[in-house]
Amino acid sequence: MASKKAVALFLAAVLAPAGAMAQAARGDTFVFRIGGFFPNIDTHARADSNSGLIGTTIDFETDLGLEDSKTLPILDATWRFLPHHRLQLSYLDLSRSATSTLRTQIRWQDQVYTVNSVVNGEFDSKITALTYLWSFYRSPETELSAGLGLHYTDLKAGLSLAGTTVTAVRETSAKAPLPVIALNAEHRFTPAFGGELNYRWFGIEYGDYDGSLNVFNALLSYFPWRNIGFEGGYSYSRYDIKVQKDSWRGEAKYTFKGPVIAIVGAF
């Protein structure tokens, strides 16, 4: 009996303050997220020669053996500098490489790799996103926002025969500062539980780039304490870009999607 009473008192001591803190007004001037992203990845890319020869569209996961899933850290921060105005900053690094034996002939830039060649392949993407959001509707429970952003995407793809020197690597790269339109919808179902949908879109010809970018996130949050909570949901990103630069003439179709979990601090 005494042990059951002790357990009950312990649970009451732990859960009651957490519930009371969740009821209190949550800070939202600064919001920080750190967590994990577990995407499935699909990568197709082509690199043409400077003389105009069209390269082979390579499936980097099937043809070159790159991982088609990975665990990635995620970092982002939001600053509400005025009640209806926010800035969001996030970073994601998805880099992979592998060695494989070709089952089909590949042309990459001006180099042809024949069947049964052992090759090293790599595809790296580093994405830094800065977004401004204006809340055109805001109540204690619901916030609807629209804005503009810049997705600075650093893509690098390379191919080389295994055992060759670094100088023999046929590498392409593109640093794409893509302007995006941003939409956000957030709602608190209870003081502790909430949800968020956000969408980012680019779909115009911009400088040396032509194509589209679609990013969608659906998230649920739970704040057992006033300033610390947990978030989980699903993230989808697709790049479909044609590039005409000296460092890369060709295209990339790149999709990564999967569950995401995070610890959130709101102050």
Query: Given phi > 0 = left and psi -120 to 50 = alpha, else beta, which region is 211?
Result: left
DSSP string, 132-170: EEEEEEE-SSEEEEEEEEEEEEEEEEEEEETT--GGG-E
Q: Span 14-33, mean pLDDT?
A: 64
Report which of 140, 135, 185, 145 is spatially closest to residue 26, judged by C-alpha positions: 140
- pLDDT at residue 11, rounded to an integer: 42
| pLDDT classification of 15: cutoffs 50, 70, 90 | very low
Domains of the chain: 2-266 (2.40.128.100)
The C-alpha atoms of residue 72 and residue 34 are separated, in whole angstroms, by 11
Contacts of 6-15 spanning 24+ positions with Cβ under 8 A: none
Q: Residue 174 has which token pair?
A: 């593109």
Query: How much is the pTM?
Result: 0.85
Q: What is the pLDDT of residues 62-110, one digit of tens each?
A: 999 999 999 999 999 999 999 999 999 999 999 999 999 999 999 998 8
Q: Span 205-234, mean pLDDT?
A: 92
Burial (0-12, 13-18, 19+ Cβ within 10 Å), 16: exposed
pLDDT greater at residue 18 or residue 149: 149
- pLDDT at residue 25, rounded to an integer: 62
Residue with tokens 């009371």: 20
Helix (H, G, I), strand (E, B) or coil at 264: strand
| pLDDT classification of 20: cutoffs 50, 70, 90 | very low
The C-alpha atoms of residue 26 and residue 143 are separated, in whole angstroms, by 14
Residue 264: pLDDT over 60: yes
